[in-house]
Amino acid sequence: QSALTQPPSASGSPGQSVTISCTGTSSDVGRYNYVSWYQQYPGKAPKLMIFEVSERPSGVPDRFLGSKSGNMASLTVSGLQAEDEADYYCGSYAGNNVFVFGGGTKLTVL
Amino acid sequence: EVQLVESGGGLVQPGGSLRLSCAASGFAFGEYWVQWIRQAPGKGLAWVARINSDGRTTIYADSVKGRFTISRDNAKNTLFLQMNSLRVEDTAIYFCSRDFRFGADYWGQGTLVTVSS
């Protein structure tokens, strides 16, 4: 049950695109297409942004794009807006009904 | 509207016990897996435990196995987390959430558990 690896920080200017990586292993990210991404503002509960690698829940802007290659998943936020500044966490199913999160990435909009 | 409301958090001494509750509404609670996820102050999210729809299958993170027990009462639309032998490192905000495609689509606002002498 090792945590997934995310960069601690990422940044971009308004209108630009930024990609956040999430590195796991062949036992979690690499094996299952159950990668999800969460946005969290300070003092608030996380919000589901992406599920099953690249699916967006209703209401999530299509500026948020999820993908996966091998043991690494990615979240790309295009057309950055000030409101995108938040912490982002990836999560993955790891088999045997176990779930694992990444350490989180603080996204700063410059 | 789907709602999850946690309660039961508070200050407890190391070695003590606490029982958290999560009241669910706005969806067919008894048809979903649900789970507890925690977040230590200033830290990231950590999955704690999951329970299947009828309560017969429970799974735990290694860090809480043998000390925490997840359970549910589908008649009362409520999820529980019994926490025993609490440690300082269990200090965190505890969120309940609804499982969705091995993720979490709805979250409560969280309840703070502080383990300190």
Q: What is the pLDDT of residues B13-65, one digit of tens each?
A: 999 999 999 999 999 999 999 999 999 999 999 999 999 999 999 999 999 99
Contact A36 B47 (CB under 8 A): no
Q: Tell me the sheet residues that pair with B24.
A: B4
Closest-CA distance of chain A to residue B69, Å: 15
DSSP for A28-51, written as a single string: TTTT-S-EEEEEE-TTS--EEEEB
Closest-CA distance of chain A to residue B75, Å: 24
pLDDT at A2 over 80: no
Q: Tell me the sheet residues that pair with B36.
A: B49, B96
Contact B100 A51 (CB under 8 A): yes
Query: Band of the pLDDT at A1, cuts 50, 70, 90?
Result: low
Segment B12-25, tens digit of pLDDT: 999 999 999 999 99
CA distance B37 to A36: 14
Nearest chain B alpha carbon to A37: B103
Question: Residue A67 has what pLDDT?
Answer: 97
Contact B61 A51 (CB under 8 A): no
> A22 and A72 in contact (C-beta within 8 Å)?
yes
CA distance B2 to A59: 15
